Copies of this chain bind each other. A is one copy, B any other.
Amino acid sequence: MGDAARARLGVGMVGYSFMGAAHSQAWRTAPRFFDLPLRTEMTAVVGRDKERVTEAAERLGWESTETDWRRLLERDDIDLVDICTPGNTHAEIAIAALDAGKHVLCEKPLANSVAEAEQMTAAAERAAARGVRSMVGFTYRRVPAIQLARQLVAEGRIGEVRHVRAQYLQDWLTDPAAPLSWRLDKAKAGSGALGDIGAHVVDLAQFVTDQSVVGVNGTLETFVTERPVAASSSGLTGEAGEGTGPVTVDDAALFFGRLSGGGLASFEATRFAAGRKNAIRLEINGSRGSVAFDFEDMNVLHYFDGDEPGATAGFRRIVVTEPEHPYVAAWWPPGHGLGYEHGFTHQVVDLVEDLAAGRAPTPSFADGLAVQRVLDAVERSSDSGGAWTEI
């Protein structure tokens, strides 16, 4: 599609660290590999520190900067606000942006509480009535292997879902000397492993099965309750500074639940799984087969077809890099795998296509709220000794 034929979409991004870098790469890359129906522009990036945001804009490729996100809402050249800040700021920015008529892409978790997420969802629904769209950034949905898993489940290839086994294992807090960061501060992050990474596997489980978790029994644990303060506030990890401070979030979350279709699901999220770097594992067993995924081998989906004769049945290691696979035709030949950041590019592609088509993007704020309610139920269950807690 030629430029002349395409309407412009001006993007303003709030925040520019880990998530900001990933989103920037996506906005920059999407139009180069996909024939987008809108002409996306990286119009402005927002950060509180003028000097640092200016440096970020140059490095990440944004045309202008702001030091107050509210300025984005006043600018006519901004059509969409992309929120890449910690969870405690999501509600205020998103609701204001939607009310101002800006589309919103909001990083996960949607919010730090169910109450905030409900307000955001209400705002999203009000906005949708006016054609203003919103999306929450569960990008792992857009790994081709995960999309393929969902397709196979939807086509009935694994039959009725009996088991979901979902884990998100990291190890960056294993060392008690690892310093504090905003991710360990309940006021900013809302929760720890539960909301940061558990949110992803809850969303993946619901997305791939197209079912919801209806109740849980759960427990939370903080193994190391006091850590060195960080020398600098940015980054996932970093150098230790002087003194120590309390960890106010969970280090690990363990829960099991029931799916709306009657299956069982077990979940684990931890930052203490020594040797597991970013192991997002999802296995779903059905009455006719299974699918299994591990992000440490992200271009692969394992699929067991229970209809195969016993002599030749086995988990197939599908290298999800064929042109038939979701998103793949736009990229490289078979076997030339994608990486972590490609999920963000696919997110931009889907979002822009939905905006152009006037469709509601997914995952919606309501989907984000659904995840939030599961997380909240896990916290409440944990507080009551792991008792059954409905959602």
19 new A-B contacts at CB < 8 Å, known A163-B270, A303-B312, A339-B342: A18-B333, A162-B174, A162-B273, A163-B268, A171-B306, A175-B306, A223-B262, A274-B286, A276-B290, A276-B335, A295-B337, A296-B299, A302-B317, A308-B316, A310-B322, A313-B318, A317-B317, A336-B339, A337-B340
Interface residues of A (CB under 8 A from B): 3, 18, 21-22, 24-25, 28-29, 31-33, 58-61, 148, 152, 158, 162-163, 165, 167, 169-172, 174-176, 217, 219, 221, 223, 236-237, 252, 254-256, 262, 264, 266, 268, 270, 272-279, 283, 285-290, 295-299, 301-306, 308-319, 321-325, 332-342, 385-388
Closest 9 CB pairs of A and B: A278-B335, A277-B335, A275-B304, A339-B339, A314-B316, A314-B318, A385-B388, A217-B386, A336-B340
Which residues of chain B have C-beta atoms less than 8 A from A313's C-beta?
A: 275, 316, 318, 322
Which residues of chain B have C-beta atoms less than 8 A from A170's C-beta?
A: 334-335
Which residues of chain B have C-beta atoms less than 8 A from A262's C-beta?
A: 223
Which residues of chain B have C-beta atoms less than 8 A from A299's C-beta?
A: 296
Q: Are B310 and A323 in contact (CB-based, < 8 A)?
A: yes
CA distance A353 to B202 in the complex (A): 44
CA distance A3 to B158 in the complex (A): 49
CA distance A29 to B342 in the complex (A): 13
